[in-house]
């Protein structure tokens, strides 16, 4: 008898256990998940997982005014890198950033949409088409690379 009672109790709790589980799964469906994974693999070693960069050497992406004001350049920077002095949030940085040529236009779109919405940033959503157009333009511009 005692055992049967115990089993009934357990069954009763199954729906109660499912609710938090389903909530967890639902909340975890982050729309920028691929971008976040790519960011962590290709960018976080310099810009840090929290987007704050490295004092004096690597500019921040979190709350970065430069990023906010130069949205149309992001795709080409990610693919081809950048060098020369830039000012981000009132500080000057001057270290070369290497490009990440192995990322496709689609992956670059996902990275931009992740960094545009991470860490409290609210820099808008970019479409694959505009990223692709930007990449086509900089492929033969002076980005210093002959890669396509
Ligand atoms: C090896 C280190 C390194 C890696 C890896 C790297 N960056 Fe950078 N990034 C830099 C440096 C250094 C600068 C400043 C370049 C300069 O001084 O001209 C920079 C500049 C930037 C800027 C413009 C400045 C700003 O803070 O808004 C953006 C945007 C950016 N990086 C995004 C990315 C993204 C996205 C990735 C991953 C796809 C990435 N970076 C990977 C080092 C890196």
| Beta bridge partner(s), residue 97 | 82
Which pLDDT score, from 0 to 100, does residue 15 have?
A: 73
pLDDT (tens digit, 0 to 9) for every residue of the chain, 148 residues total? 555 665 666 777 777 777 776 666 655 567 899 999 999 999 999 999 999 999 889 999 999 999 999 999 999 999 999 999 999 999 999 999 999 999 999 999 999 999 999 999 999 999 999 999 999 999 866 554 444 3
Evaluate whether residue 65 is within a structural domain. yes
| Beta bridge partner(s), residue 98 | 81
- In the reported structure, the alpha carbon of residue 5 is separated from the centroid of ligand 1 by a whole-number distance in angstroms of 62
89 lines ligand 1 (CB under 6 A): no
Radius of gyration of the chain from its Cα atoms, rounded to whole angstroms: 22
84 lines ligand 1 (CB under 6 A): yes
Which residue spans within the chain are E strands per DSSP?
Answer: 81-82, 86-88, 91-93, 97-98
Which pLDDT score, from 0 to 100, does residue 146 have?
A: 42
The CATH number of the domain holding residue 123 is: 1.10.760.10
What is the atom index within ligand 1 of the atom nearest the CA of 103?
Answer: 38
Which residue of 34, 37, 40, 46 sits with most ligand 1 atoms within 8 Å of its CB, as the best mutation to test the pocket?
Answer: 46
Task: Name the residue among 129, 119, 141 with its Cα closest to residue 35.
Answer: 119
Which pLDDT score, from 0 to 100, does residue 93 have?
A: 97
Evaluate whether residue 126 is within a structural domain. yes
Is pTM beyond 0.85 here? no
Evaluate whether residue 5 is within a structural domain. no
Task: Name the residue among 54, 51, 48 with its Cα closest to residue 123.
Answer: 51
Total of domains in the chain: 1
- What are the helix (H) ranges across the chain? 2-27, 33-42, 44-47, 65-69, 74-80, 105-117, 128-139
Expressed as residue numbers, the domain containing 84 is 32-139
């Amino acid at each position: 008898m005692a055992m049967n009672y115990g089993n009934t109790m357990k069954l009763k709790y199954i729906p109660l256990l499912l609710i938090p589980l389903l909530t967890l799964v639902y909340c975890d469906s982050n729309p920028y998940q691929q971008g976040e994974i790519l960011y962590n693999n290709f960018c976080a070693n310099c810009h840090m997982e929290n987007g704050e960069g490295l004092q004096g050497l690597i500019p921040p992406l979190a709350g970065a005014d430069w990023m906010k004001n130069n949205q149309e350049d992001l795709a080409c920077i990610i693919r081809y890198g950048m060098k020369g002095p830039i000012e981000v949030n009132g500080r000057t940085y001057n270290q070369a950033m290497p490009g990440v040529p192995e990322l496709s236009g689609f992956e670059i779109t996902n990275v931009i949409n992740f960094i545009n919405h991470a860490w409290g940033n609210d820099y808008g959503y970019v479409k694959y088409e505009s990223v692709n157009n930007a990449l086509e333009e900089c492929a033969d511009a002076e980005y210093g690379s002959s890669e396509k």
